[in-house]
């Protein structure tokens, strides 16, 4: 199975999982009226819609036209960028929502005891689905030799969703053992605030990293993954053994595609184009066994 088909199959399965999570979230919200669950369910619906868009991007990104001879791979990091921004927005809105409730309780003296019992089975279902889906995305990305920007974004975002659900479930379970008249009684009204803030602080770094890496891809930065960079560079040097021939080897990644630019030394007296063409084909043939979309050009 080629890398694009692996990617698309994973995204289709992800949509199915997210539909189940969305339904579970809406049921839990209608039962508990905990606003954070509505935000979570809304985010899941957005994830389903963005997943459908990711499938569209996966299908068209490799298409080449006379106007776009290099394909539409730039859509992949743009998607990851937008998805990370959506995740950051969810974390921010969740924090604002629970902060308003905490303010109302601590400052204004308004609040009501949270109905947390139904949250526990919901959180358990969400944790199982999120962690299972995150592991599935990660394994499918490895099946593409870790080249899929789309699956990497889905892996990280789904993991964050699972961590948030696990934290809420654990907090709900602990709060059930708190007496209303004890010194910790305030947690019966504000537990979601403390849990949400702690989870946001621990999770916020991940979407920012995805945002940064996606932005670097769009701006044309060299490949950030040192393992893949060294692997490709070693492949180049194994075929072109004359070290003095290569001045620089630049490797770029855009979505699932790789571009290798080899800057030739200025000290060369003459350039054997036939030799370079043969080396180009041998390098591409070797890399093509592992990476589906690779181009190579020599810069004189």
pLDDT for 254 equals 94
In angstroms, rounded to a whole number, what is the distance separating the alpha carbons of residues 178 and 44?
31
Bridge pairing between strands 246-254 and 257-264: antiparallel
* CA distance readout (Å), 274 to 31, 238, 264, 267, 279: 72, 18, 15, 19, 9
b/e burial code for range 191-230 (CB count within 10 A of at least 16 → b): bbbebbeebbeebbebbeebbebbeebbeeeebeeeebbe
Nearest 5°: the CA angle 48, 49, 54 is: 95
In angstroms, rounded to a whole number, what is the distance separating the alpha carbons of residues 152 and 150?
5
Using one digit for the tens of pLDDT, what is the confidence trace for 144-158? 999 999 999 999 889
Each of the 300 residues of the chain gets a pLDDT tens digit; together they read 588 999 999 999 999 988 888 888 888 878 776 666 766 777 777 788 888 989 999 999 999 898 888 899 999 999 999 989 988 988 898 889 889 988 998 898 888 777 777 888 888 988 999 999 999 999 999 999 999 999 999 998 898 888 878 887 887 888 888 888 888 888 888 887 888 888 888 888 889 999 999 999 999 999 999 999 999 999 999 998 887 788 899 999 999 999 999 998 876 666 778 888 999 999 999 999 999 999 999 988
Query: How many other C-beta atoms are found inside a 10 Å radius of the C-beta of residue 74?
Result: 18
- The 3-state DSSP composition of the chain as helix, strand, coil percent (nearest 5) reads 70, 10, 25
Kindly report the backbone phi and psi dihedral angles of residue 222, in degrees, each rounded to the nearest multiple of 5, phi listed first. -70, 160
Domains of the chain, each with CATH number or no CATH: 1-219 (1.20.1510), 226-298 (3.30.300.30)
Three-state secondary-structure class, residue 84: helix
**β-sheet bridge partners, residue 258:** 253, 294
Q: Which residue has the tokens 């960079």?
A: 229
pLDDT for 77 equals 95
Q: At what angle do helices 35-60 and 149-175 cross, to 10 degrees?
A: 170
**Exposed (0-12), middle (13-18) or buried (19+): which is 10, by Cβ within 10 Å?**
buried
pLDDT for 39 equals 67
State the SS3 of 100-162: HHHHHHHCCCCCCCCCCCCHHHHHHHHHHHHHHHHHHHHHHHHHCCCCCHHHHHHHHHHHHHH
Using one digit for the tens of pLDDT, what is the confidence trace for 56-77? 999 999 998 988 888 999 999 9
Q: What's CA 110's distance to the chain center, in Å?
A: 39
In angstroms, rounded to a whole number, what is the distance separating the alpha carbons of residues 197 and 123?
17
Contact criterion met (CB below 8 Å) for 58 and 255: no
* CA distance readout (Å), 105 to 46, 95, 190: 31, 15, 8
* Beta-carbon contacts of residue 285 (< 8 Å; ≥ 6 apart): none
b/e burial code for range 137-176 (CB count within 10 A of at least 16 → b): bbebbebbeebbbbbbbbbbbbbbbbbbbbbbbebbeebe
């Amino acid at each position: 199975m080629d890398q694009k088909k692996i990617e698309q199959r994973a995204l289709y399965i992800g949509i199915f999982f997210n539909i189940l999570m969305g339904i579970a979230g809406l049921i839990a919200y209608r039962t508990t009226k905990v606003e954070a669950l509505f935000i979570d369910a809304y985010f899941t619906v957005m994830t389903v819609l963005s997943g459908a868009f990711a499938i569209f991007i996966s299908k068209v990104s490799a298409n080449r036209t006379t106007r776009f001879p290099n394909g539409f791979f730039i859509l992949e990091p743009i998607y990851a960028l937008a998805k990370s921004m959506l995740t950051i927005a969810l974390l921010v809105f969740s924090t604002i929502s629970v902060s308003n409730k905490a303010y109302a309780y601590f400052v204004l003296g308004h609040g009501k005891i949270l109905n947390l019992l139904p949250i526990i089975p919901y959180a358990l279902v969400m944790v199982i689905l999120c962690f299972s889906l995150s592991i599935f995305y990660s394994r499918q990305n490895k099946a593409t030799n870790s080249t899929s920007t789309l699956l990497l974004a889905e892996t990280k975002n789904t993991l964050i969703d699972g961590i948030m659900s696990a934290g809420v479930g654990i907090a709900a379970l602990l709060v059930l053992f708190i007496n209303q008249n004890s010194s910790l009684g305030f947690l019966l009204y504000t537990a979601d605030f403390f849990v949400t803030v702690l989870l946001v602080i621990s999770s916020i770094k991940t979407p920012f990293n995805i945002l940064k890496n996606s932005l670097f891809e769009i701006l044309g930065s060299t490949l950030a993954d040192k393992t893949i960079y060294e692997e490709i560079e070693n492949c180049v040097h194994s075929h072109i053994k004359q070290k003095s021939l290569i001045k620089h080897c630049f490797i770029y990644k855009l979505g699932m595609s790789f571009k290798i630019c080899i800057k030739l030394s200025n000290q060369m007296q003459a350039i054997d184009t036939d030799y370079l063409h043969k080396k180009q084909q041998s390098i591409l043939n070797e890399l093509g066994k592992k990476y589906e979309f690779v181009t190579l050009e020599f810069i004189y």
